[in-house]
A and B are shown apart, each in its own frame.
Chain A
Amino acid sequence: MAARDQHGTNPPWGDTFRVIGRPGRKVDGLAKATGAALYTDDLQLPGMLHARTLRSTVPHARIVRVDTSRARALPGVHAVLTGADLPERYGVIPWTQDETALAVDKVRFIGDEVAAVAAVDEDTALQALDLIEVEYEPLHAFLDPEEARTRAEPRIHEDKRDNVSKHVRLEFGPVDAELAGAELIVEGDYSFQSTTHAAIEPHCAVAAHDPSGTLTLWSSTQITHYVHRTVARVLGLPESRVRVIQPCLGGAFGGKSDPFSLELCVAKLAMMTGRPVKMLWTREEVFYAHRGRHAMQMHYRTGATKDGRIRAVDAKLLIDGGAYSSFGLVTTYYAGQLLTGPYAFPSYRFDSTRVFTNKPPCGPKRGHGSVQPRFAFETQLDEVAHALGLDPIEVRRRNFQGAFVETVNGQRVTSSGFLQCLEAVERASGWAERHGKLPRGRGLGVAGSMYISGTNYPVYPNELPQAGIQLKVDRSGLVLAFTGSNDIGQGSSTLVRNIVAEELGMDPADVRVVAADTDLCPVDLGAYSSRVTFMVGNATIDACRKLRRQLVEAVAAKWEVDAARVALGAGHAHDAEDPSRSLTTREVFQLAEARFETLGATGSYDTPELGGKYRGGTIGASPAYSFTAHVAEVEVDEETGRVTCTQLWVAHDCGRALNPTLVAGQIEGSAYMGAAEATLEHHQIDGRGLHTGPSLLDYPIPTSLDVPELHAIVVESLDPEGPYGAKEAGEGPLHPAIPAIGNAIFDAVGVRLRDLPFTPARVLAALRAQAAGGRG
C-alpha cells in the first residue's frame, strides 16, 4: 500500500471540519425531488429506434430452430438479433463466463433472452417478436437445488462436469475437536428464500454508434467499468472506442452490477442500423434479470462452553444459484468468509455449494452472500443463550472479538465499534427492563453483524488502483471532480463534492462532480461491495492534498508568510495570525494558476495486501469492516400468525459519518429492506419454472404502513485507514434485521422460526405445534 492510501482520521492542518460530519443535501436531491433529474429512459436521440427482447417460455430446452424471417419482413423493423449475432461469452467474474447476450443453442430459464428486435417504435418491435418462431426441444428442468447438486445430467451448462456452479470447503482451527469438547452444541437447519432488489427504475440502455466508429452506451448500471470492458469484448471493439455513461439512476441495490443482455443488444443494434437504439425493460423483465438474493439451505452446528463462549462453528450451505454464474463464485465464498466477526471463535468450517437451476440467475443483493448465514448464525446465538439461561446481548458481548484483531480465517479487522452498537440498542430499546418481560405476544430480539468496506479482490486480476479521481481547477473558482464511481442514490457524488470542499476550504456549491462516464472519468471499479466511500473517499483526499499544497504555497508566497499560517475554509484563504488578511477561493486559484500554470490533480486508492494465505483468502478481505447491532420489537397476532415489527433500533458503526443525513438514510433503507425479507418478500419460482408473480402487485415490497418505527443510531469508531476514519454504511445495517425479528418472535411467543419468510401461515403452524406440545 502506498502512503497515498492513508490520510489519517483528521486533516493534518488540524482544522475543525467545516463540511465533513455535517448533515446536508445530496447534489442531486432537488433534481430528483422536482422531477428534473434525467434517467436513462429520459434520453431521446434523433432517429432513435426502440428494441424489445423475445424470451424463453420454457425453463430448459435446446433451441432447434429460430426463424426470424417474418419479423424481419414487418414494416418498421430495422434489425433482428439472435444468439448467433453475439456469440461471445461473458460474465462479470472472468473465471465463470457462462452468459451470452442472447441464447446460443439452449435456454436455461423462463425469461432467458432469445432474440431482440429494433423497430421504429415499441409496438412494432413487440409485433415483430410475435412473428419470431422458436422451436424448443425440452430438457429436464432443475427447480430443486438438492436435485441439481446430486444429479449431473442433463447439464445446464454443458462445459461443466455437472450442475454444481461452485464448491468451497474451508476449515480453520480444530473444529471436530472443539465440537467434541463443547459443553453445549446447538444444531439446526435454516432456510432463506430468494428475494429481489425491486429498484424502482427498471433497467434501461441506449446506444449510439457515431460515424467515426465510437460507440456510446448510456446505461442504468452501477458498475460502468465492467460494462465498458464487457461491451468492448463482446462487440469486438477496442475499449478506447467504447464510452459508457451512467445517467441518473433510480436505485440498484446490487441488481445492476452485472453486464446485461440489453446493453449488448442495443450496442449491436445501433452498430447494425446506424441509428441510436433504446431498450427499456418491463418490471416483469427486471424480475427475470433478477441477480437477487440466493435462496440458501443451511445447516449449522455451534459448539459453546457453558458460559456461552463459542468454540466452534460448522456450516453446510446449499445455494440455489439459478441459471448462470453471475457473481456466484464470490457468493459461495462470502457465505462462509464473512461470518467471522464481530465474534471470535477458535474454529470454523464451512462447506458451501452453489448449484445451477433453471431459474432466473441470482447474484449480489445488498449484503451479498452474508445475509443468509447471518440469519442462521444469529439465530443459533439466541438458541445458545436460551439453552444456557443467559441474556442474548450478554452472550454477544462475551464473544466479541475486539478491535484490531485477526479473525479465525485470517482477515484483518481494524476498528470495531460493535460493543458501542450493542450498548446503544440495549439502552434505546429498554432491553434490560423489557426483554423476556413483555406480555405474551410481544417480544424483543437482538442480533449483530459485520460487513466489508470494499474488498481487495478486484474481480479481474490487475495491479492498477481500485479508485481514481481527477480534479480540474478553473480560474472562475470552480473545481470539477471527475470520478468513475457510480452514484446510485447512495450519495457518492455528494461525498466527493464534500471532501473536495473540505480539503480545499471551498463552498460546496463551487464543486461540481462529473461521475461514471468512461471517457471523462478515471476508472473506479463501481458501486458494489460497499467500497465507494472508503476507496473513492481516500482517492479524493489524495488528489486534494496535492492540490492544496500548491494553493497554500501560492498564497504563502503572496503574503510572504510561512505556509503553516495559511488556512483554507468557507470559500476563503485566511492568515491564521492576521485575521484581516484573506482571499477568496477564486483569487487563490488564480494566484496558484499564475504560479504553477494550469491546475489539476489526480488521486488514487488501492487496498493494502490483505487476506488469508490460502486459495480464496482474499475474497472478503476488506481494508475495514463495519459493525451493526439491531434490537427488534414485534407483536405476534396468535389468531392470524401475523408478525408486526413495531420498532427497530439500529446502531451502526460507520467509522465516521461523513454526512450524517446520508448515513441515517442508508441505515434506514437497509433495515427496512431486511425487515421486509423477514416477513414479506419471496422471489418464488413454481413447479413449472414460472415466477409466481413478477410484478410489484404480487411481489410485496413494503408500503409505508408495513415498516417498523425505525431508530437509526450512528456509532463512530474512526478507522485508521478510512477517509477521515469512515467505513461503509450501505449494506451492513441490513443483516441483523432478519434474525433480530426471528429472535423477537421467540421472545414474544416462544416459537423458534428457522425458515424464512416468517409468513402468517408459518407462524400459525409453529404456534399450533407449540400448543400441541411439539418442539418450539
Chain B
Amino acid sequence: MLRLPQLQVARPRTVEEALALLGGEGALPFAGGTDLLPNLKHRLLAPQTLVSLAGVEGLSGVSVDPGGALVIGATTRLHEVAEHPEVRARAPALAMAAGLVASPQIRRMGTLGGNVLLDTRCRYVNQSAFWRKSLGHCLKKDGAVCHVVPGGQKCVAAASNDTAPALLTLGASLTVATAAGTREVPLESLWKPDGVYNRRLAPNELVTAIRVPAQAAGHRGAYLKLRPRESFDFPLLGVAVRVDAAGGVVQSADVVVVALQAVPRRVTGASDELAGKALGTQELEAAIVAVGARAHQQCRPLPNVPGDPDYRREMVPVFVRRALRAAAG
C-alpha cells in the first residue's frame, strides 16, 4: 500500500489556534483530506504538521445573511453544498458543480474550501514518487523541465476544481482569517497562472468561508463537466455559466471554463452575445452558438490532464452551448 509520510497532526479548537499552528514551519491545513492524502502518499508535499480543521468551531455550515448572500463555511462537505436547498435555489451552478465532484463517498468527506483551493493537476505530476523518478521529474516537483510543453519554463498544471468556475460566475469571495484579522478576497484575484502554486494565499492564512453574493433577479446557472466516466473523475473540461434573465430576457451572462491551464478561464463576450435575447427564442439559440464559437476560439486545452487535448478543445463549444441551454431552458 502507498504509505503516508511520518507527520504530526495538530487539532486546534479555534481559528486563532489554527492560525498560530499554520504559522509554524511545514504546516498545512487538513480538512476532508481527499486530495491532500493522495498527494502526500505520492510525496508531492512534505509537511511536518497537518493542522486538522475538524475540531475548529464555526467553519462548517450554510447560512444566508440579511443581504441574501450565501455564506458557506470552508469545511462544509461538498455533499451538503450540493444538496442544500438554499444553495440550489440561490446558486444552482455551485450546487451542480459540488454534486459533480468525484464520487458520493468523496463528496461526503471533501469540503468546499478544499475544492476551491485544490492543487493543480497534471498527468506528469499526480503520480507516485517512483513514476515521477522514472519520468525524470518536472517543473512542479523536483525537476526543471515541462513534459506538457516541451521547452516550457512555466508550469501549466491544470486548475481542476469543479466549483471554481461556478463560484467565479457567481462573483464569490473568500473570507480569509490572518493573524492581522479577517479579509475578504474576491475569487477573481485568488488565482495566478502558475501551475506550481496557483493561489495568492500565504501559508499562515486560513479560508474560513466562501461568500456568494445575492444574485440578480432571474438568476440562472449551470455547470457541466467532461470526464471519462459518470463518476469519480476529475474534469477534462468544466464549464460554468450564469444567465441572468429577469422578465424572461437575458440581462447579463458569464461563462468560465476550467481544466485548461493553471487558472480557470473566463470566456469574454458572453454578455455581449446574450444580453437582450429573450429566453426560448431562435435569437437566443443563435447567440448561444456564437458564445460557443468564442469559447472555442479562446480556450486551448493543453495535454496536461488525461485525454486528447484536441478532443477537449472540440468539446469546449459543445459544453458551453449545453451549459447555456441548461441554464436558459
Contact = CB atoms under 8 A, between A and B. Distances in A.
A391 interface: no
A690 B311 contact: no
B283 interface: no
B288 to A, nearest CB: 13
A697 B233 contact: yes
Contact of B134 (A110, A640, A706, A759): A110
The prevalent SS among residues of A at the interface is: loop
B123 A700 contact: no
A28 interface: no
B217 interface: no
B1 interface: yes
Contacts of A692: 123, 306
Contact of B229 (A283, A641, A703): A703
Contacts of A3: none
A692 B306 CA distance: 9
A279 to B, nearest CB: 11
Given A284-B128, A693-B123, A694-B131, A700 B229 contact: yes
A58 interface: yes
Given A680-B228, A760-B311, A764-B314, 4 more contacts: A640-B315, A690-B131, A694-B128, A705-B230
Contact of B306 (A123, A680, A688, A698): A698
B211 to A, nearest CB: 32
Interface size class of B (residues with CB under 8 A): 20 to 34
Contacts of A703: 103, 229-232
B130 A57 contact: yes
11 contacts: A55-B130, A283-B2, A284-B130, A640-B226, A640-B318, A690-B131, A691-B131, A693-B123, A697-B232, A700-B228, A703-B230
A284 B3 contact: no
Nearest to B317: A639
Contacts of A706: 229-231
A702 B103 CA distance: 13
B1 A282 contact: yes
B281 interface: no
Interface size class of A (residues with CB under 8 A): 35 or more
Contacts of A764: 311, 314
B308 A761 contact: yes
A703 B232 CA distance: 8
Contacts of B231: 703-706
A566 B134 CA distance: 71
A715 to B, nearest CB: 32
Contacts of B308: 759, 761
A706 B103 CA distance: 13
A98 interface: no
Interface string A752-767: 0000000111001000
Interface in B40-87: none
Given A680-B229, A692-B306, A705-B229, A123 B130 contact: no
Contacts of B127: 693-695
A541 interface: no
A119 to B, nearest CB: 12
A518 to B, nearest CB: 28
Interface of B: 1-3, 6, 103, 123, 126-128, 130-131, 133-135, 226, 228-234, 306, 308, 310-311, 314-315, 318
Contacts of B318: 639-640
Interface string A100-125: 00000000001000000000001100
A280 interface: yes
Contact of A690 (B6, B135, B232, B234): B135
Contact of B2 (A110, A282, A680): A282
A474 to B, nearest CB: 41
A7 to B, nearest CB: 46
Interface of A: 55, 57-58, 110, 122-123, 126, 202, 280, 282-284, 639-641, 680, 688, 690-695, 697-698, 700, 702-706, 759-761, 764
A123 B1 CA distance: 11
A693 B6 contact: no
B133 A57 contact: yes
Contacts of B6: 123
Nearest to B312: A761
B135 to A, nearest CB: 6
Nearest to B147: A688
A500 to B, nearest CB: 38
Nearest to B226: A640
A126 B3 contact: yes
B126, B128, B134: which has the most chain A beta carbons within 10 Å? B134
B301 to A, nearest CB: 12
B3 A122 contact: yes
Nearest to A641: B311
A167 to B, nearest CB: 32
A283 B131 CA distance: 13
A58 B131 CA distance: 10
Nearest to A55: B130
A78 B318 CA distance: 59
A57 B318 CA distance: 40
A58 B134 CA distance: 6
A761 B226 CA distance: 12
Contacts of A639: 318
B121 to A, nearest CB: 10
A202 B2 CA distance: 12
Nearest to B322: A639
Contacts of A694: 127-128, 131
Closest 7 CB pairs of A and B: A705-B230, A761-B311, A57-B134, A703-B231, A700-B228, A761-B308, A639-B318
A101 B268 CA distance: 59
A639 B230 CA distance: 17
A691 B231 CA distance: 23
Contacts of B130: 55, 57, 284
Contact of A284 (B131, B135, B226): B131
Contacts of A122: 1, 3
Contacts of A761: 308, 310-311
Contacts of B123: 692-693, 698
A704 B229 CA distance: 10
B317 to A, nearest CB: 9
A639 B314 CA distance: 9
Nearest to A204: B1
A700 B233 contact: yes
A283, A691, A692, A695: which has the most chain B beta carbons within 10 Å? A695
A39 to B, nearest CB: 13
B140 to A, nearest CB: 17
A110 B135 CA distance: 10
Contacts of B314: 764
B293 to A, nearest CB: 14
B259 to A, nearest CB: 15
Contacts of A688: 134-135
A704 B127 CA distance: 25
Contact of B1 (A57, A280, A705): A280
Contacts of A690: 131, 134-135
Nearest to B311: A761
Nearest to B232: A703
Contacts of A202: 1
Contacts of A126: 3
A55 B128 CA distance: 13
Contacts of B228: 680, 700
Contacts of B128: 282, 284, 694
A123 to B, nearest CB: 6
Contacts of A280: 1
A610 to B, nearest CB: 43
B126 to A, nearest CB: 8
Contacts of A691: 131
Nearest to B41: A282
Contacts of A640: 226, 315, 318
A688 B147 CA distance: 11
B123, B228, B232: which has the most chain A beta carbons within 10 Å? B228
Contacts of A704: 231
Nearest to B227: A700
